[in-house]
A and B are shown apart, each in its own frame.
Chain A
């Protein structure tokens, strides 16, 4: 079984709908991240969480919210989806020590989201 799983893998929705993307991990890592990937732009950090009680905004958090339900689960919500949120979304985990999130990250398979 994969260490980092994401559901759904593909989703097509309409403008204005609320969408939740889910991420689960069995690696036992404290740190979890949500990224989006757009063609030609690489990965950009949306939100990150260093433990269950710690949630932080990343580079592009506007229009998104997150919930860390447990050490193993980190969900990303789009409260009112818009077309420019069409992208590939990745969850990642890391088992870093210290105050920065710069150690090796382990990625899920991604969720391809299309907002019409």
Chain B
């Protein structure tokens, strides 16, 4: 059962542009996390935002969380070719484990 759904499924941009990915979920959460996966490799944690937070920054990453709309967005500013990867949101509830979405495939063209 998928909790988070990313949108769009695929995104292609030019180097230097900003990339925005969205995640919607269905039930109440404790936190929401974003992970990156380079092709065929393990996932790498990017950022965690708790349910009582609205925005969080980490380097070129900006995450927002709107619990009333049950949605989150990940913004990557000034994208680089090395940002090419799949990005997953994962939601955490008070009981249970992380539930991952299906991912957004980002392609950054040089």
Out of A33, A102, A103, A107, name the residue touching B93 (CB < 8 Å). A102
Q: Does B68 contact A (CB under 8 A)?
A: no
A100 engages B93 (CB within 8 Å): yes
A65 → chain B closest CB, angstroms: 18
Q: Are B42 and A100 in contact (CB under 8 A)?
A: no
Contact A102 B88 (CB under 8 A): no
User: What is the CA–CA distance of A47 and B92 in the complex, to the nearest angstrom?
Assistant: 16
Complex Cα distance A101/B102, Å? 19
**Which residues of A (77-116) have their CB < 8 Å from a CB of B?**
88, 90, 92, 99-110, 112
Residues in chain B near residue A105, CB distance under 8 A? 43, 45, 90, 98
Contact of A102 (CB < 8 Å), options: B1, B40, B43, B97? B97
Contact with B along A25-45 (1 / 0, CB 8 A): 000000001010000111111
Q: Return the chain A residue nearest B44 by Cβ.
A: A107
Interfacial chain B residues near A41, Cβ < 8 Å: 102
A45's nearest neighbour on chain B, judged by CB, is B97
Q: Count residues of chain B with CB under 8 A from any CB of chain A.
A: 26
Chain B residues near A100 (CB, 8 Å)? 30, 92-97
Residues of chain A at interface, number, CB under 8 A: 28
A54 contacts the other chain (CB 8 A): no
A110 to B43, CA, bound (A): 9
Q: Which residue of chain A lies nearest to B47 when distances are taken between CB atoms in the complex?
A: A104
Closest to B6 in A: A42
Residue from the set A58, A59, A88, A102 with the largest chain B CB neighbour count within 10 Å: A102
Known: A42-B88, A104-B33. A110 touches B42 (CB 8 A): yes
Q: Is B100 an interface residue (CB 8 A)?
A: yes
Given contacts A33-B97, A58-B97, contact A107 B102 (CB under 8 A): no
Provide 7 A-B residue pairs closer than 8 Å at the C-beta atoms, listed in order of the A residue. A33-B97, A43-B88, A102-B30, A103-B48, A104-B48, A105-B45, A105-B90
Return the 9 tightest CB-CB contacts between A and B, nearest first: A102-B92, A107-B42, A101-B97, A42-B102, A43-B100, A107-B43, A42-B100, A109-B42, A104-B45
